[in-house]
Structure formats: structure tokens, C-alpha cells
Structure 1
Amino acid sequence: MLTEEEKNAGLVGRIIPINIEEQMKTAYIDYSMSVIVSRALPDVRDGLKPVHRRILYDMSAELNLYSDRPTRKSARIVGDVLGKFHPHGDVSVYDAMVRLAQDWSMRYPLVDGQGNFGSMDGDSPAAMRYTEARMKKITDEVMADIDKETVDWTLNFDDTIPEPTVLPTKIPLLLVNGASGIAVGMATNMAPHNLGEVVDACCAYVDNPDIECEELLKYVKAPDFPTGGIIYGYEGVREALLTGRGRVVMRARTEIEHTASGRECIVITEIPYMVNKAEMIKKIADMINEKKIEGISYINDESDRNGLRIIVILKHDAVASVVLNTLYKNTPLQTVFPVNNIALVNGRPQLLNLRDLVKHFVNHRHDVVVRRTRFELRKAEERLHIVLGLLIAQDNIDEIVHIIRSSQTPDAAKQTMIQRFGLSDIQASAIIEMRLRALTGLEHGKLVAERDELEKQIAHLKEVLANVGMQLEIVKQELLEVKEKYGDERRTEIVYASEEFNPEDFYADDDMVITISHMGYIKRTPLAEYRTQNRGGVGAKGSATRDEDFIEHIYTATMHNTMLFFTEKGRCYWLKVYEIPEGTRSSKGRAIQNVIQIEPDDKVRAYIHVKRLDDADYVNSHYIVMCTKEGVIKKTLLEAYSRPRQNGVNAIVIREGDQLLEAKLTSGSAEIMIAARGGKAIRFNETTVRPIGRVGAGVRGISLEEGDKVVGMICIEPDSKQDVLVLSENGYGKRTDLEEYRITNRGGKGVKTINITEKTGDLISIQAVTDDNDLMIINRSGLTIRTAVSQIRMAGRATQGVRIINLREGDAIASVMAVPHADEEETSAATDETAGQTAVEAPDAENGAQDATTETTETTPEK
């Protein structure tokens, strides 16, 4: 309400109360629409934002800077655009013009720049007073027919000069050059494409306006970036073209070469679109210095005027493919182009797929052709009208001359001719202005020929205007002419592969030792770190554990193997070897609860590794045989475990007081042996165990005496020629021929496998071995020893064996594993120096942990 003083002051009617919330809402909407329509988003018809459209129009119509004219200072162009059309700051105009001239930013540059217009390294262009510019030849096609009333016009910001609202481009600029911009509440990011492919798609749409977007993908296969590179994976591309939104994965183009010294190097010749080369190299160098990327010696930029070339020199022991995939994952050598096709359609922003973009451009060109035809028809009719008047004058030239000579003024002469010959005012004016040379016979012939030509042209133009099919055919033919003139080969290669990384690509398939401690610590260590010693050695420090902890399981595998973990509660979990934390031979490892999601009171008891779980034939022809401490055995098809789950699955139902002890991969016809702590073992054929489903408890494998427990199970495949090796907890062991164990029925008590005495201690392990194996032994204190199985003599089934490892007082063996045997020479050298190292090829996944081939490499002795 107004106070009395305000009323008295005469303010009534001059103050309008306004709700500030409504005012802010209205003002912000006006601002946002101004940004969307007049600044940030391109028009779907010509693919240009207002600043680009004004630059090109000013260069053509105002400054006459066509491709065949001399260049002019950029400052002159920017000043003209600022003063006439775009009052938004000289930097915005100059930057926009510079980008139109950069061949690494635009697939088809529209401005021909002379001078320093920046670089792929992110260098700024020279100041506008130093550079010059003009239009490119292709830009002539963008501006063609603009003077033929083909587009709508509006007045500039101060209503003094008309400017076009859209350009009559013959080039589908929005598709071939793309666009990017951030408006208010929305943004656009459109990828460039190949001109030839886009023209083919437009022609296909002209031929069949009902064509589906899916069919247009036959023509426009994928974006085509000016910097080349590789599009990795097609699903994101397909989604972007079909919906208007998608993720296009871009990779640098690389080759593996060798230097003069023979070292491998990665040569980068093309990088992803919009990636700053200098920043990319700096990031790679920083990651090398910070040890985040291994295997690279140094990186060097050898780019010159002939093209881009970046050299990445590798270390001698580096695997090029592994380093390259690591670079793809961690550096801009692989980036994602997020497609978001938003453009202005009739002044409103819309999300557009490939078909929408093609349709709107073809419709625009159709409209341009129709308007141009109308303009040309009108001009032809106007000219024909004058030519007919001139022919009348020539036919009656004497009378015309008499009328002109006898008239006091030109207007009087015009009126007399109009009355005498029925001419129009325009015709009469043309006759008055006719030169004397038009009276010659040659000029008369030219007028007759021009009349005939104009009549034919008018008839044709009228036919075009009456026939939509002819109009569209003109659109098509002009597009094909553009393709013929400016079309080029695709620069960006399409690799039809998954966009997702395959983690295996980042790890060489090296041999590893997997160790799991009694308290549940796990790690992977290169197998070559473990030394070989003679039988009876004391052993080397193998793992740092707590006083109350000790190593309980040790296995060999390769980095790309899939591992199945079976816990004592009967659950199964999956891991790739490279997902296990790496540690040195003496490190403790990482708590397995932090690697796989097992219960706090559960422990991993068995491990199986296979190369692939997606091979249907393989998983349906192999089995997993499990054994518990109470002598229960279960056989299940591997296929039941071929679908990994993060939280694991139940593998066997464990009865109260029991726990899972062992799990083996078999072919279905193996000989199974189960050994008990008291020194007895049972042998039976796997075929006597009926396979059951994953959810089940199993059947009796061995009958145990009171207080006895199962210590291990082995599965020996037919023709494997493996012996049975048993080891007691005090370090005594032996090898025995499998045939010394008679085949009995499943569920029996078994026969003696080692003579248990106070000196030997209880049975601790049973292994299936050959002379091609070494024995890896880890005791409770963490000491390890590796000895050749061939040094352990064959002995009878009921003997106590020989001493395999010397144990310190109070120590005992914790875990035993058969691993491939090292080469004799190397083993001998390692023994002499007490420190040789061997790299051993991991067992073949299909044959379990028993079968393996050996490969040795020479290494320096450990100190």
C-alpha cells in the first residue's frame, strides 16, 4: 500500500508492484532462450551458430573474400563482423574464425587461414593483426545462391543492415563438421562425418523418404574425425546414430616398430579428436616418472610438417601389447566422444538421430531449390518481357525514333510508345535506354535467340515448380556434384570390437605362485622368485607371516587363468589371477576377505584354475570332485560353476563338524585316492561316483577310524604315468607306484600308504607326481624349499620313506605342492650357488595342477 506522502507526491500509477520470484523466472527464461537460440546451439539446416554464420556472410557478401580473391587481415574481418552483425567481443569472433580454419578441428575447414592459426599442441593463434584469411573453395558452395531469395532475412542488432537467418548451403555442415556448445540447461556435442557417406545417405533419403534410420547406417557407418584415429567398438556409434545420444570410443593409431638397436617401440601417428597432443605427451611422461606405467624407457615427439609422429621407446623386457593397452586405459590415447545431437529445429532445441538430421537438411535444400527456382522464373519472365519490348522496337525502329525525336521529354516519349504499341512502362523505359548498336542486325539476332532461350527456361522452371520429383532430383544431383568435388576417403578406421576393456590385455600371461596363509592372507608372486635346492636342504625364507600364522596353501597358475576358490564351508568364488594382489616372496599378502567376499569365519581350502569358462564343450566334459575332512566326496559338472557371481555360490552342503578339504578338476575317468592322517589311503575309479548337482552333500569316499581325518585327495588321469607321493609332518616322504594300491570300493577303509611312527609324524600330504615335477614345501615357520621329485626314491607302500626336509625343532610342514621341474643345468648351477632362479611355465588348465611343461630362463644368482 502507498503511504499518504507517496500519494501526495504524485506517484500513484507510476509504481508497479512485481513479484520478485516471477520476475527472476521470466528474466532467466529470456536469458536462457537468448543463449540457446542466438549463441550456443547450431541450426539444423545449415549447421552453423550465429557467430559462424555472420563471419561467413560478412566474408562473402560484405568483404568479397571468396576463395579466388586475395586474403585480408583477420582484424579487418573481425572488425567488420563486430560492427555490422555480432557485437559480442572481438575474441569470440576471432576464436570462432580461427576454429573454422583449423584442419584438426574441422573435418572440412571453411576458412583459408594464412599465418599462425594455432596447433594440435594447444598453441594459441597469432594476434588477429598478424594473420589473414579468406573463404575456402568448399565455402563457395555454402554461400551459393544466397542472392537469389533462397533464405529469410532479418535486420541486424541496430536495424541498419539485413543479415540471413540461415545460409543456403549445399554442404550438410552439421553432419560433416559436427558442432559443440553449452547453452543454459542443455548442451550439444555432435561428431563430424565423411562428406561422401553423408551425401549418399541424403540421396538414399531423397529416393525413399520412408527409409528407416537403421538402413541409413549402411551409408553413414560412423563418425569420421579430422585427426583420423580408430573408433573402437560399434555399439556406442550405433546408439548415437539411432538415438542421437551415445559414446564413441576413440583410439590413437599405433604401430609396433623396432629401433636401430633392436628395441621395440610404439609409434603413434594419429591421435583421438580434440586431444591436446602436448598435454597427452606430458601426462604419459608424468605417469612414467611416477611409475604408474611400467615398461617405457622414454617418449619423444617427432612430429613435423609432414605429419604427426610420437615415439614411445620400451624397455628390453617390456611386452609391447601390454604397455599399449595400459596406455589406452590410463592416458588420452583412448578417449570417449559423448555424442549429444541437439540442434535448433524451427527455433526450438531438439534431440535428433541420423535420419532426423538428414531429413531436415534435405528439406532445407528442397526449400532452397524451390525458392531459387521461383526467383529465377521471375527474373526470366522479367527479362523476357523486356526482350519482347526491344524486339517490338526493332521491328518499328523508324517510328520509335520519330516518336523519341518529336517528344519534349523522355516521359512523354514513353507515354506515346505505350499508347502506340501497347508496351508496358518497363518495356518503354528499356527502349528509351537502348543504345544505337542494338539497331544492328547482329543485335537483333541475339535478341531473338535470347527470347527463345528464355521461353525454354521459363517452361522448364514452371515444370520444376509443378513437379516435386524434379525438385528433389535437382537436390540429389547437386549433392552428388558436391561429393564429386569435395568428397574424400574416410580417415577414421572402425574396429568392430567391444568398447569395454579386456583386463587381460593389461597383464602378460606370466607364471605365478599363489600362496594362502592359515589366517587367510593371499598374494601372487612370480614363480621365478623361488630357488631350487637339493633334498635335505634347510630352505629359504618364503613369506613373512605373523608368529601365529603360517602358509597353508600354495598353487601355480598363469595371470590369465580363472581361479575357483572353494572354502571350508563349501562355497565357491571366482577370481582372475591378475585380480589377486601381487607381493614379493617375503611379503605377507592381503587378507582374502578384502579380495573376495567370504564370511569372516570361513577359509579358502581348495583352488582350481581353468583357461576359459565360456567354452561349452569344455565345461560340459569336465568335473569338479570335492572331498571333506570327514571323507565325503562329491562330483559335479564344471558347467555348474561356469557363471561367476560376485558373492559366490554354494558348492557342497557341509555337515556339522565337517569342512571342505580339497577340490580337483577331472575328465570324468580319473583314479581317485583319498589319504587319511593315520596313514591309510583308498583308491577307486571316478566313474563309481555319480555326478550330482551343485546343491548337494555328496557320498562316502572313505571310512575313517575314530579321531582320524582326511589330509588330501589326488585325481590321476589315465595314462598320466604319475606316482603317488606322500609326506609326513616331520619331513619324511616317498614315492610309490599307483599300481601298489589296489582298487577298492568307494567308502572302504583303504590300505596303508606310509608307515607312521613317532619319528615320521602323522601323514600331512598326498600328491600325484612324475620325474618332471619339483616339490615345493612350506613349513609353519614360513621357510620354503624346492626339491626335485626325481631325488626322492621310489619305496613300497608300507615303508616310512626318506627325509625330504630338515626341520628346526618345534617346526612342522604346513603345505606341499608339486610344481614343474627346472632344467638340470640350471638346477645344478642354482645348487652350487645356492641361489639360482627358474621361470616355469604354469600347468595346462585342462590337466589340472599335475601336468606341466618346463621352460627355464637364465638369471643372476641371489645374494
Structure 2
Amino acid sequence: MTEAEKHLDLPLEEVLGDRFGRYSKYIIQERALPDARDGLKPVQRRILYAMLQDGNTADKPFRKAAKTVGNVIGNYHPHGDSSVYEAMVRMSQDWKGRHPLVEMHGNNGSIDGDPPAAMRYTEARLSSISVEMLQDIEKNTVEYIPNFDDSIEEPVVLPAMYPNLLVNGSTGISSGYATDIPPHQLGEVIDAALMEINNPACTVDDLMTVMKGPDFPTGGIVQGTDGIKKAYETGRGKVVVRSKTEIETLKGGRKQIAVTELPYEVVKSNLVKRMDEIRFDKKVEGIAEVRDDTDRTGLRIVIELKKEADPQGVLNYLYKNTDLQVSYNFNMVAIHNKTPQLLGLKQLLQAYISHQKEVVTNRSQYELNKAERRQHIVEGLKKAISVLDQVIEIIRGSNDKRDAKTNLTASFDFTEEQAEAIVTLQLYRLTNTDITTLEKEAEDLAEQIEKLRGILASESKLLNVIKDKLAYVKKTYNEERRSVIEEEIEELKIDLEVIVPSENVIVSATKEGYIKRTSYRSYSASNEEPPGMKESDDLLYAAERNTTDTLLLFTEKGQYVYMPVHELSDIRWKDNGQHIGNIVPLEADDSLVRVIPVSEFSDEHYLTFFTKNGVVKKTVLSAYQAQRYSRALVAVKLKENDRLVNVDITDGSKEIFIATNFGYGLRFAEEEVTPVGQRAAGVKGIDLKTGDSVVNGFSISPDGPPETVIVTHRGAVKKMPLKEFDTSSRAKRGLVMLRELKQNPHLISSLQPWDGKENGLRIQTETGALKTEDVGSMRRSDRYSNGSFVIDTKELGTVTDAWPALDYQSLQKANEGNKESNN
């Protein structure tokens, strides 16, 4: 063979696909998913079988865990020792499995997530219920296959005399498949299996009359029978698992919350740490201390409350924001007929019952063969005793054992097996007592053979054997249910006024996106100094708000950040705020456009959006109330080259005014814009010329603002009454607002509503210069004026933007007014 012929030229995709396919099949079938019959993954099955082979059973002393791990790796499972030991430890943890299959001496970890001691320190043995998993395995009840090096054989599945997959549950992740099967109460599972045996046509509703739902080893409250039923029907479903809590009243009237049971697989130490962080960060008012009082008598976490705190309000907040309450998602995937399948409750029970039929059939056949062999021997011994003198004479006259067997067979028609039994018979067995014993044994064997043949011939008798064994397991190992099942998932309503102390604070946001809340004490101490911010930055929003309010922060790219005021960082007035990008992730080129405070998300108010391309969108305010707000949410759907220029809050009866860069203004009734959904795009608000864009849009009410202030890119400013514009209809070009010039015409950089309460106008140029202009004393102009020049564009560059200067000193006056009213 030449060198070239030794290599195959194959496409990489084909090779990778083939190799990964083989790997995935191995991971799915031989590592991560349990078998539907015995509920065990291969490593778990090998650990139990290795311990049985080593005599490491419940009635024997404990042995070093390292010895078992070594046996498993050396004989059955050629993988890392840590993975085998971890699997062994998990089978011993009574907070992970409902009925642990392994008993362990020493540190086997804790519900706090502590790791177990090294396997050289711990000792283990099979638990008593493991006997039922392995019982009669030596009677050819299950199929065996060669181990990895063909030196010995191992079982493909264990006999499993009870439905272990449902009792202890399973969790695992493989390639393309994952499984999450919760533990259940042993007696209920057995009752469900018996119901399925007695009435194969029973429904999931029928089964749920005896098998209520999951029963977690850590207890807790399981809410949502609809989710349980869906899971039992389809294999997938969702329930809520809540801690068991009690509100206790102490001397002096103070109260505390005691937690005595946790949701399944919640790490206690992490939960306590998270609740203490909430206390420390003052995200919920009223928690004085969080303490872990767990000891050998049982689990107990205590949340001490302040005297004025509302216990139920605090508890609801903790349910919603910590693992004191979690969702559990059923995903009942198991290996059935050598393939991973999503199985409902009936299919799981049927898979188990089918396995038990096979186990009982194989065991009965094994015991029948054994009994028939023994019956044949007993018949031979009885016959030999009846002609004992001749038998002895033949044996004494023979040359050796082989010759004696041959002579006996020839003289009395004994079979080979009978002759062997006769020549190996001890002399003391020839007493009258043993002759009687043989006759009794023959009767017993005949009865046993008849019974076994009846089991093999009749399915009803075979099923009775299975039912008797299940009843025995239930009687021997049944325990009380630990988890409470509740029909409905309780809706958690958190009253912010109860959880968050109602407090007036100063909230401010800057053009560059820095936001903060400031206490009145810090604000008052500033002596009317401007807030802390960068030199190039300016205030976008500053107002007195309550901690129970919410801010909606809208960005250029049509997103919004839902920010409860009480969750804002409390920062001194003189310090820079926290950048919005540090609160939630934003794209690098996105920026803050508008801040809208909301006290109540009602259906009677709307948010109206204005975009650079002339689109207007109106959506009911309540659509923007978010439950989860760890990231920026979609406020309006924008095209790729569009940008949000403004957002206004309206009541449905106002008018809309839109202004463009080329100097057109359009006024129309708000009712022309039909409300749409939160994620929808809007409608055409104004008809733009090619190259034109919207600089601003806002709503107008009958009582104001009466005027608007226009700033052009050439540094001109003019104040103009809005009555100059007649009400038209949507999607028109609008009316001109500037006198047309043939050379170097004015373009509008900014247009702002003006009601005379503003503290001047802040104008920004392309060089970054900021100038404040007093607009109050400026005379009004009509639509055909270009205003007065206030910026030297040759020196400072063209104007890029302008906005009303916020009067943060007036907040001080409001603060003083609050003090007087409080006094």
C-alpha cells in the first residue's frame, strides 16, 4: 500500500458531523440521561452494582468511598474519579433525593453548597432501599453486557422493584437534550403504578387523584396543579415552588419571618447572602437583620423586621426577588427503547411496568429451571434410597467415581445429574429423617413449579406478583409527604408604599446620560450650586419626585429604561450621577433623549413618540409598565436610519406640533394618531422634503404652551406664538416658520415649547460652547421672520442644539415650601 492510499480525503463537514454525532449519541445514551426503567444514569447504576459485588450492603459495615470509586473506575466506568465520587455523593444527599440510594459516613456536603470531604475520608454503603433496586439481579432478571475491556459483565439496567425515576427524580444536560424530573412521594407513585396496572385506560386526572404532584426532599409549597397536569400529560410543565414561612410576633410587638423549608435545589447560604444584600442596599425597607439559625434540629432562617415594617409586604418582595420562591420546569426526558424521549406520567409508568413484567418473567423462568433441576435430583435420590443396598454394592464394586456413575446409570436408568448426586451423597443423609425431608422437599418443589408455571402462563398472575412487591415496598419504606400542593399560583402584589419608604427626593438626569437621586439634606447643603456634572454636560431633567414613582428613560434608538426612583443610587448633589449605561447595557452610540416621571401607569394617558423621519406613534402608558427591567426595553420600532427625537405624555385630547430642520411646522389633532402596541412602529406625522428631518415634536393643550422658541444653525433666535399655525391634518408638509433666503438660508437646529416659566435657553455650538440666552424679554415674531442673531458662529461654530435651561434653584424653594407645610 502506498503512502497516499493510507489517507482518506474527506470533507471536514462530513468528518465533524460524523464524529460529533457519535459523541452526542454516547453522551445521551451513556452518561447524562436516566433510563426510564430504573431511573438511573450509567454511572449511578455502576456505582450501585459495584457496591453490591463488593458486599458493601446495608447490613454490613461502612467501607471507604475511595475503594468503591476505584472499583467502579477499574471495572465499569473508565472516567475521572471526581465525576464518579460526585455521583456517589449526590445519591447519598437527603436534600437532593427523596430516598437516598447510598448511605455515607462523614461530610457529604450540605444544603449550603459546601463540598463533601475527599473520598479518602468518607465511608459509604448501599442504603436499605437499594436492596429493592438490586434484588434478584443474580437470577438473570436483566440483560448483561461486557464491560469496557471485556473482562467482566455489567447489567444494562437494574431490576428496580419500585419506580425509582419518579421517586428520586433526575436532572442532567447532554447534547441537544436536558432532563428535569422532580422527586415524588413513594407511596403515591406506587399507588399510581398500581392504578395503571389495574386499569390501563385510566387518565392523568385519575392518576392525579392518588399522585398529587412532586414531593421535594426539602419540602416547600408547590403551586399550580394546572402546570403539574400539563407536565404529566406532555412531559413539560411549570410550577412555582415556595419556601415554607411563618410570621412570628415577638415581645414588644416586633415581628419576624421564619423560613423552615426551602425550594428544591436552592443553596441556603446564597439565599441568606442575597436577602442580606437587599437589607444592606435598602432595596426593601423594614428588614433589621437576616440570620441563619439552622442547627441539628432543622433548617431555620430568621428575617428580623423593624417595628413599622409590613411583614407580608416584605415577604412578597423577597418571594419575587430572591430564591425564596422559584419556578420549577418539568422536562421529563429519559432513555426509552434506547432513544431519548419526552415522556408523560402514563408513559413513564408503562415503561416501568413493562420492565417489571420482563424482570418477573426472567426471574420466574430462572427459578422454574432451578426448581425443575432440583426436582429431578430429588426424584433420583428417592429412587436410590429405595434400592439402597444395590446402589451401595455397585458403588463399592466400582473402580472410581466415573465408573460408579456409569454403573449406576446402566443398572437403574439414572441420569448423569442423578448419578452425580448419588455418588456425592454423604452417608449421614441416609437416615430416616432425611428420607422424610426429601419427600417433603419433593412436595414443595412440585408446588413451587406449578406456581411458577402459572405465573409464566398467565399475565394476571404475573401482574399480581408485581403488585404484591410494590405493596411490600410501600409498606416498608413509605414516608409522609413533605411538599404541600396548592392549586393556584398566588399572584405576588408588591405595594411600593409598603416596601419602599415614601420619601421626597430630588431626581436629576443630564444630557450625557448621568442620573441620580439626591436627598433634600444634600441638596439643601449645596447653597444653590449647580449639580455635579462634566463641564460639557447640562441638565436634561431635575425635579422633586417620590421614591414610589418610576422614571421612563427614553433613548435615541427607540429603547427605554424602566427605573423605579427608589432603585436609583443615592448620590450627593455635588457629585456626578451614575451613567445609564452602568445601570443597564446600552449600545455605544445610543444616548438619552427624554425622562418622563410616572406616578401611576394608567390606561387614560398615552406616550406619543416623534422620530427624525417624521413618524408619530401613540401607545397607552400602561403598556410601558415593566415587571423585569434588567435591560433596555423596546419603546418604539425604528427603521435603521431613524432616530427618536422626543417623547411626550398626552391624554388623547391634545394637539400635536411637529417642526422640521428646513423650517416647516405642522399642527394637527392628536386623535388623528391611532394608538398602537408597545413594540409597533408609528404612522406618518409630517410629509418631509428630501433631506429634511424632524427637529422636535410635542403636544399642545388649550392652556399652553402659548409660544415656541426657534434657534437656527446660524445662531438666530426667535419667539413665535403657536396661534400662527392653524390646525391642519396629519401627513401634510406644514407651514413655513422662517423667511426664505436664496443664499445661506436658515436651518432650524432646535425648536422648544415656551410658556414663560423657563429660566432661559441653553444654546450649544459645534465647538462644544454653551451659552444661556434670556428669551423672556425677547419680542414675539411672526412666521416670516428669521429672528435675532445671538451667537457669533464665526467664533463659536454653527448651532447644533438648544434646550430650556432648568431652574434647579426653584427646587430649593419647593423644598422650603415642603418644610413649612410639614411644620
What TM bracket, shorter-length normalisation?
Answer: 0.5 to 0.7
User: Counterpart of 2:271 in structure 1: which amino acid?
Assistant: M
1:383 aligns with 2:374: yes
Please give the per-residue CA displacement for 1:834-860, whole angstroms capped at 9, x wherever unaligned. 8575xxxxxxxxxxxxxxxxxxxxxxx
- 2:465 pairs, out of 464, 474, 482, with 474
1:593–1:599 contact (8 Å) kept in structure 2: no
1:115 aligns with 2:124: no
1:342–1:349 contact (8 Å) kept in structure 2: yes
2:294–2:301 contact (8 Å) kept in structure 1: yes
Extract unaligned runs of 5+ from structure 2.
Answer: 505-516, 518-530, 532-537, 550-563, 574-593, 611-615, 623-650, 655-675, 681-698, 704-809
1:29 aligns with 2:21: yes
How far 1:293 moved relative to its partner? 2.7
Q: Secondary structure at the match of 2:175?
A: coil
Residues 722-741 of structure 1: pairs in structure 2 closer than 5 A: none
How far 1:402 moved relative to its partner? 0.6
User: Counterpart of 2:371 in structure 1: which amino acid?
Assistant: A
How far 1:72 moved relative to its partner? 0.5
Q: Secondary structure at the match of 2:91?
A: helix
1:191 aligns with 2:182: yes
Q: Secondary structure at the match of 1:170?
A: coil
Partner of 1:362: 353
1:14, 1:341 → 2: CA distance?
47
Partner of 1:455: 446
Q: Secondary structure at the match of 1:64?
A: coil
1:289 aligns with 2:280: yes
User: Counterpart of 2:94 in structure 1: which amino acid?
Assistant: D
Larger Rg: 1
Residues 571-590 of structure 1: pairs in structure 2 closer than 5 A: none
Partner of 2:415: 424
How far 1:599 moved relative to its partner? 2.7
1:660, 1:204 → 2: CA distance?
74
How far 1:181 moved relative to its partner? 1.1
User: Counterpart of 1:196 in structure 2: which amino acid?
Assistant: G
User: Counterpart of 1:265 in structure 2: which amino acid?
Assistant: Q
Residues 422-571 of structure 1: pairs in structure 2 closer than 5 A: 422-498=413-489, 500-504=491-495, 507=498
1:204, 1:645 → 2: CA distance?
50
Partner of 2:248: 257
How far 1:234 moved relative to its partner? 2.9
How far 1:205 moved relative to its partner? 0.2
How far 1:645 moved relative to its partner? 8.8
- 2:229 pairs, out of 201, 225, 238, with 238
1:422, 1:219 → 2: CA distance?
60
2:357–2:466 contact (8 Å) kept in structure 1: yes
Please give the per-residue CA displacement for 1:806-860, whole angstroms capped at 9, x wherever unaligned. x9xxxxxxxxxxxxxxxxxxxxxx9xxx8575xxxxxxxxxxxxxxxxxxxxxxx
Residues 601-612 of structure 1: pairs in structure 2 closer than 5 A: none
2:83, 2:491 → 1: CA distance?
38
1:488, 1:21 → 2: CA distance?
54
Q: Cα gap change, 1:418/1:548 in structure 2, threshold over 3 Å: closer, same or farther?
A: closer
Partner of 1:599: 608
Q: Secondary structure at the match of 2:237?
A: strand
1:342–1:350 contact (8 Å) kept in structure 2: yes
2:285–2:501 contact (8 Å) kept in structure 1: no
User: Counterpart of 2:35 in structure 1: which amino acid?
Assistant: D
Extract unaligned runs of 5+ from structure 1.
Answer: 1-6, 514-524, 526-543, 561-577, 609-625, 630-643, 649-656, 662-780, 786-806, 808-829, 838-860
Q: Cα gap change, 1:378/1:581 in structure 2, threshold over 3 Å: closer, same or farther?
A: closer
How far 1:338 moved relative to its partner? 2.1
2:268, 2:20 → 1: CA distance?
39
Partner of 1:104: 95
1:144, 1:308 → 2: CA distance?
35
1:93, 1:189 → 2: CA distance?
20
- 2:326 pairs, out of 315, 318, 335, with 335
- 2:165 pairs, out of 174, 199, 212, with 174
How far 1:142 moved relative to its partner? 0.7
1:45 aligns with 2:54: no
2:184–2:215 contact (8 Å) kept in structure 1: yes
How far 1:511 moved relative to its partner? 9.4
- 1:165 pairs, out of 135, 156, 164, with 156
1:38–1:49 contact (8 Å) kept in structure 2: yes
User: Counterpart of 1:15 in structure 2: which amino acid?
Assistant: H
How far 1:11 moved relative to its partner? 3.6
1:227, 1:547 → 2: CA distance?
53
2:171–2:179 contact (8 Å) kept in structure 1: yes
User: Counterpart of 1:293 in structure 2: which amino acid?
Assistant: V
User: Counterpart of 2:100 in structure 1: which amino acid?
Assistant: P
Q: Secondary structure at the match of 2:69?
A: helix
How far 1:491 moved relative to its partner? 0.5
How far 1:184 moved relative to its partner? 1.1
User: Counterpart of 2:448 in structure 1: which amino acid?
Assistant: Q
TM-score normalised over the length of structure 1: 0.62
Please give the per-residue CA displacement for 1:40-59, whole angstroms capped at 9, x wherever unaligned. 11111000011110100011
Partner of 2:590: none
Partner of 2:391: 400
2:107, 2:567 → 1: CA distance?
51
How far 1:598 moved relative to its partner? 2.7
Partner of 1:19: 11
User: Counterpart of 1:466 in structure 2: which amino acid?
Assistant: A
> How many aligned positions are there?
602
Q: Secondary structure at the match of 1:598?
A: strand
Q: Secondary structure at the match of 1:246?
A: strand
1:582, 1:28 → 2: CA distance?
49
Partner of 1:301: 292
Residues 43-122 of structure 1: pairs in structure 2 closer than 5 A: 43-60=35-52, 62-122=53-113
1:597–1:647 contact (8 Å) kept in structure 2: no
How far 1:89 moved relative to its partner? 1.3
Please give the per-residue CA displacement for 1:227-258, whole angstroms capped at 9, x wherever unaligned. 11111333332222221112221111111112
Q: Cα gap change, 1:783/1:406 in structure 2, threshold over 3 Å: closer, same or farther?
A: closer
Q: Cα gap change, 1:222/1:79 in structure 2, threshold over 3 Å: closer, same or farther?
A: same
User: Counterpart of 1:599 in structure 2: which amino acid?
Assistant: T
1:321–1:505 contact (8 Å) kept in structure 2: no
Q: Cα gap change, 1:436/1:341 in structure 2, threshold over 3 Å: closer, same or farther?
A: same
How far 1:581 moved relative to its partner? 11
TM-score normalised over the length of structure 2: 0.65
- 1:319 pairs, out of 285, 304, 310, with 310
Q: Secondary structure at the match of 1:267?
A: strand
How far 1:149 moved relative to its partner? 0.6
How far 1:366 moved relative to its partner? 1.3
2:569, 2:269 → 1: CA distance?
36
1:50, 1:141 → 2: CA distance?
18
Q: Cα gap change, 1:579/1:289 in structure 2, threshold over 3 Å: closer, same or farther?
A: closer
2:679, 2:21 → 1: CA distance?
50
Q: Secondary structure at the match of 1:93?
A: helix
1:341–1:353 contact (8 Å) kept in structure 2: yes
How far 1:502 moved relative to its partner? 3.3
How far 1:87 moved relative to its partner? 1.2
User: Counterpart of 2:445 in structure 1: which amino acid?
Assistant: L
Partner of 1:752: none
User: Counterpart of 1:591 in structure 2: which amino acid?
Assistant: I
1:283, 1:402 → 2: CA distance?
91
2:606–2:652 contact (8 Å) kept in structure 1: no
RMSD: 4.9
User: Counterpart of 2:141 in structure 1: which amino acid?
Assistant: T
- 1:268 pairs, out of 259, 264, 268, with 259
